[in-house]
Structure 1
Amino acid sequence: MHVGFIPGEYVMLAVSDDGCGMNQETQSHLFEPFFTTKGVGEGTGLGLATVFGIVKQNNGAIDVYSEVGKGTIFKIYIPRHEGSAVTETTPDPLRIPRGHGETVLLVEDDLSILTMAKGMLERVGYTVLHTGDTNQALDLAKVYDGRIHLLMTDVVMPQMSGKDLAVQIRALNPGIKVLFMSGYTANVIAHRGILDEEVHFIQKPFSMKDLTVKVREALDGK
């Protein structure tokens, strides 16, 4: 299956396995948001949709080949770039909105994103309670002695949705602000009925500046 392939010079990344493989019906839905072959509570259906979105944003393409009982290979093509390397500059601390000691309850089942976001928030002055489990997030909200100012949660989680989690957290902390995050765009999330359109939302992956701006906006009610 070829998705959006345009001839040219590319850098190719291949990922393969020798698992159960996929039939043509499954392959035809691979990159659809929320499509999953896993059981209820075992998958979000956003993984490959997110990969597809990132690749397309970089003018790339994905080639997929799979045989039932033999395995699957994904080949990701990103246009080759020639030129000098760009040195990433350190964000200007004066331009990054800082926290004022507020407590953020961070809920994300991807450990790498959880760790990264926690570090970013702590660097700019927030106290962070963090977990990859929605049930544990509820427990933290119940036992934490201080005030939790902001709930920052992924939209789609294994045990319950971020929206349902926010409802329960708000019942415990009526004044809490909420910032949702997802690997897919806000309009797709809203179109699927997962979130209302008028909510605070940040798309993954995000930079430190993007995160701190969105957190500040959510806390300040902008």
Structure 2
Amino acid sequence: MNNKLAAITGNLYLARSGIDSRSETAARLQSVETLSFEAASMVQQLLTFARKGKVEQKPLALVPFIKETAKLDSVAIPENIQFSMSYCENSLLITGDITQLQQLFLNLLTNARDALEGVDQARIDLSLQYYEPDSDFIERHPEAENKDAFACMRLSDNGHGIAPEHMEQVFNPFFTTKEVGKGTGLGLAMAYGIVTSHHGVIEVESTPEQGSCFSIYLPLQSNANTVLPIEQQQEVINGDGETILLADDDENVLQTFAKVLTSINYRVLTARDGRAALESYRQHRGEIDLVILDIIMPKLTGPDVARQIREIAPGAKLLFATGYDKESDHHGMTGNIEVLDKPYDLAKVSKSIRRILERESTRKADRR
């Protein structure tokens, strides 16, 4: 799936670069690209949920983060639904993964929106408050006994509610009471997984035909440096005519990304599998400034090619790329070489390429 999205986003970039950036067409292409990266984020969440593995958690001020996220996601709420927000003065510093928390909020908001279908005077209320656990909370959640305080996010609606017989199943994967085609049954299961991976607690209260309230409790941190809640927009950094060897077994991804790299002033050599990549490096070693290798390829994997290239030229500059879950590190094969995610965010990729290329060059010493 991520390989397909990589080809789509690459072609979107090429299409946008050939038209007036102020045109309606450019705006529509930008929207498609945004949706493509949202789809990629969903794929990543499914991979994380499936492996129940590591997430990239950093200190995060939850109140400003949720404020910004709510602004972005509120466009998914129909005009007939009243959406209200209330926040405490405390910024509520937690340790969290930005992408996962965005997905958590979107899943809960979507669930509330869907529960309001056909409801008069529909309402969704969001609140963020400081919470110190009491004895009743600790009794319900013994794992929270050593936590001094939590950030409590509550999202409530006055929708159709949840039937009592379904309450114990709401967080089960693929459980849904929605019509066929209107729900996957993964939204709340993913929400539960995300909260658990953040060492938090999720509770739900519901009354049929009166509504539901989901309460998320995330442990607060007392001393940590905050990070910006939303990444700042980055610009694409052009190359300086360097030569890149690009290897990928997906022809669409290979050709599209090669064109993208060419459009930002790189010369590109391509290879369809690991063996072809290694042979191309041997033939053009004196010309190649950087090698980008898909991790999973036929004949030779990316890490296999990287090891053999490093035997030829210990100072060779390398990057890996993957449409799979890079956190799994493919059993340690990637070592300390940076891994690019598919679909490619060109601004981030161009920055990584420049960072690798501008390190003190050892390429000339390796050439013969």
TM-score range, shorter chain: 0.5 to 0.7
Residues 273, 300 of structure 2: 8 Å contact kept: no
Residue 308 (structure 2) pairs with residue 168 (structure 1): yes
- Cα distance between partner residues in 1 of 2:44 and 2:257: 19
Matches of 2:316 and 2:273, distance apart in 1: 19
Is 1:213 matched up with 2:203? no
Structure 1 residue 153 corresponds to structure 2 residue 293: yes
Shift of 1:176: 1.8
Letter in 1 for 2:278: L
The structure with more helix, counted as a fraction of residues: 2
- Tell me if structure 2 keeps the 8 A contact 1:141–1:172: no
Question: Aligned-pair distance for 1:116?
Answer: 2.0
Corresponding residue number in structure 2 for 1:114: 254
TM-score of the superposition, structure 1-length normalised?
A: 0.56
Q: 1:184 to 1:145 in 2, by over 3 A?
A: closer
Kindly state the Cα deviation for residue 184 of structure 1 after the two structures are TM-superposed.
2.5
Give the whole-Å Cα distance in 2 for the aligned partners of 1:109 and 1:177. Answer: 21
Q: Which of 157, 179, 199 is 2:337 aligned to?
A: 199
**Number of the residue aligned with 1:32:** none
Counterparts of 1:63-142 in structure 2, within 5 Å, are: 77=184, 95-142=235-282
One-letter amino acid of the counterpart of residue 203, structure 1: D
Measure the CA separation in 2 of the matches of 1:97 and 1:167: 29
Which of structures 1 and 2 has the bigger CA Rg?
2
Maintained 8 Å contact 2:44/2:325 = no
Code of the residue aligned with 1:126 in structure 2: it is Y
Alpha-carbon separation, structure 2, partners of 1:76 and 1:108: 34
SS in 1 for 2:332: coil
Check whether the contact 1:201–1:214 (CA below 8 A) recurs between aligned residues.
no
Q: Distance in 1 between matches of 2:343 and 2:242?
A: 23
Aligned residue number for residue 34 of structure 1:
none
Q: Which amino acid aligns with 2:251?
A: L
Does the 8 A contact of 2:296 with 2:302 survive in 1?
Answer: yes
Describe the shift of the 1:203–1:171 C-alpha distance in structure 2 as closer, same or farther (beyond 3 A). Answer: same
Distance 2:355 2:325 in 1: 18
**Which residue does 2:141 correspond to in 1?**
none
TM-score, length basis structure 2? 0.35
Contact 1:183-1:204 within 8 A present in 2 as well: yes
The CA deviation string for residues 35-62 of structure 1, in whole angstroms up to 9 with x for no partner, is xxxxxxxxxxxxxxx99734637659x9
Residue 151 of structure 1 contacts residue 178 of structure 1 at CA under 8 Å; is this kept in 2? Answer: yes
Whole-angstrom CA distance in 1 between matches of 2:247 and 2:238: 20
Contact 2:249 2:297 (C-alpha < 8 Å) held by counterparts: yes
Contact preservation (8 Å) 1:102, 1:127: yes
Q: Which runs of 4+ in 1 moved over 4 A?
A: 57-60, 75-79
Q: In the TM superposition, what is the alpha-carbon distance from 1:129 to its structure 2 partner? A: 0.4
RMSD value, Cα: 3.5
In structure 2, do the counterparts of structure 1 residues 159 and 96 end up closer, same or farther at CA, with 3 Å as the change threshold? same
Note the C-alpha offset of 1:146. Answer: 3.8
Deviation at 1:142, TM superposition (A): 1.9
Q: Which runs of 5+ in 1 are unaligned?
A: 1-49, 64-74, 80-91
CA deviations 1:18-50 (Å, max 9, x no partner) are xxxxxxxxxxxxxxxxxxxxxxxxxxxxxxxx9
Alignment of 1:173-188 (within 5 A): 173-188=313-328
CA drift at 1:95: 2.7
